[in-house]
Structure 1
Amino acid sequence: MTLTACGSEAETPAASSTSAIKTAPSTVTQMSTDANSCPTTPPAAGGAAEWTLPGATGSVAVTGSTDTAAPLVNVTAPFSVAETQVHTLVAGSGPVVPGTATVSVCYMGVNGRDGSVFDSSYQRGEPVDFPLNGVVPGFQKAITGQNVGSTVAVAMTSADGYPNGQPAAGIQPGDTLVFAIKILSAS
């Protein structure tokens, strides 16, 4: 399995293979009731979005995940932002995540150009572990400084995502990306 969506553009074994970046359970601060899975069930219909953001073009509405449901990201395409925006959907009560941490997260990545989901650990039903220094800058900005247990959303510029695109994920140069992220642990 690869970290196509949130890995840095330079493919390294640590950034591209989840098995290469797993941390020992004894070194991770767990803040979730089941840190070994991500909910795969869609959210209930009719719930209010926790974050709405009008963009330079289009808009996005994000509802974060719960213990039993995946997040929902609705894009009015094409959606773009002039600067990266981070919003805490639900504040966690765990320790603050430093920029040098290795984290375990559940996430969904959506392309603002067309509203398509290009990667989702929720769809796979399992979290992903990675060092924050091995992912795109927008993902780092979203997680660094948050508390473990938080659910956050980020709308990132192409410069903070993949300025040259990421063809394998259907990301073109200039695409704004939106992520809904639940921070399960950090070490």
Structure 2
Amino acid sequence: MNSTRLSPTLAFAGIAAALVTTLSACGSDSEPEASSATSSTADPADLYSVESNMPAQPAPSAAATTCPTVASTGGTPEWTLGGATGNVAVTGSTDTSAPDVKVGTPFSVTETQVQTLQAGDGPVVSPTATVSVCYMGVNGRDGSIFDSSYQRGAPEQFPLTGVVPGFQKAIAGQKVGSTVAVAMTSADGYADGQPSAGILPGDTLVFAIKILDAAG
């Protein structure tokens, strides 16, 4: 995100690349399809913009200047979750690898759920902090990656007061350095959809997040 966009409009992802995933079949016809994201860039989309009258927050000091772009494969998922429909398996990122999110589509939840994949040892993040994170967002309906700072190779900075509720729930209360995942309901994401990102009303969203730093 360009830091100049934080005021007066607090943008969560700034100019984000919309990504397309290839779904791979898994199991019999009676089982949900499992998808693992392989992406190609499409037209940029301006996602997550939220108006706010909150005063400007201090920016975190950059704990890292890059996000790894290639996911490691073949490891044991750190979080598996069966939803109201479908399922998801998440392996968090490391210093050298991006997260891996596999979705048995269509995946949906009726309640937002947060899982700490790897606990950090930094300070606890407040609900009003400005954070620096690497993240990947996956649509549970079809398994597509709709936004990823890992794909762009650089972290994003934004205040938690300017993001969708599910993203704030995932980060607030965690420690800096933690890797977390969240499966959020449509109400905690985009109840009305976000056409520029291919998100429809009712879509469950899954995020894999690495908290690099926080201030405020």
Task: Tell me the TM-score normalised to structure 1 length.
Answer: 0.86
Deviation at 1:10, TM superposition (A): 3.6
Equivalent residue, structure 2, for 1:136: 164
Of 141, 158, 162 in structure 2, the residue corresponding to residue 113 of structure 1 is 141
Residue 70 of structure 2 corresponds to residue 41 of structure 1: yes
Deviation at 1:91, TM superposition (A): 0.1
Distance 1:29 1:53, change over 3 A: same
Kindly report which structure 2 residues correspond to 1:140-179, keeping only aligned pairs within 5 A, or say none.
140-179=168-207
8 Å contact 2:47–2:197 — kept in the other structure?
Answer: no
Residue 124 of structure 2 corresponds to residue 85 of structure 1: no
Mapped partners of 2:97, 2:58: distance in 1: 24
8 Å contact 1:77–1:112 — kept in the other structure?
Answer: yes
Equivalent residue, structure 2, for 1:17: none
Q: 1:122 is paired with a residue of what secondary structure?
A: helix
Mapped partners of 2:97, 2:162: distance in 1: 28
Structure 1 gaps, min length 5: 15-19
Residue 144 of structure 2 corresponds to residue 98 of structure 1: no
Deviation at 1:41, TM superposition (A): 1.5
Mapped partners of 2:81, 2:95: distance in 1: 24
Q: 1:165 is paired with a residue of what secondary structure?
A: coil
Mapped partners of 1:120, 1:176: distance in 2: 17
Deviation at 1:11, TM superposition (A): 5.3
Equivalent residue, structure 1, for 2:19: none
Task: Tell me the TM-score normalised to structure 2 length.
Answer: 0.75
Larger Rg: 2
The CA RMSD over aligned residues, in Å, is 2.3
8 Å contact 2:57–2:129 — kept in the other structure?
Answer: no
Calculate percent identity across the aligned residue pairs: 71
Deviation at 1:162, TM superposition (A): 0.2
8 Å contact 1:22–1:129 — kept in the other structure?
Answer: no
Equivalent residue, structure 1, for 2:87: 59
By percentage of residues, which structure has more helix?
1
8 Å contact 1:104–1:128 — kept in the other structure?
Answer: yes
Deviations 1:25-51 (A, max 9, x none): xxx356x5xx110000221x2100000
Distance 1:61 1:177, change over 3 A: same
Residue 76 of structure 2 corresponds to residue 76 of structure 1: no
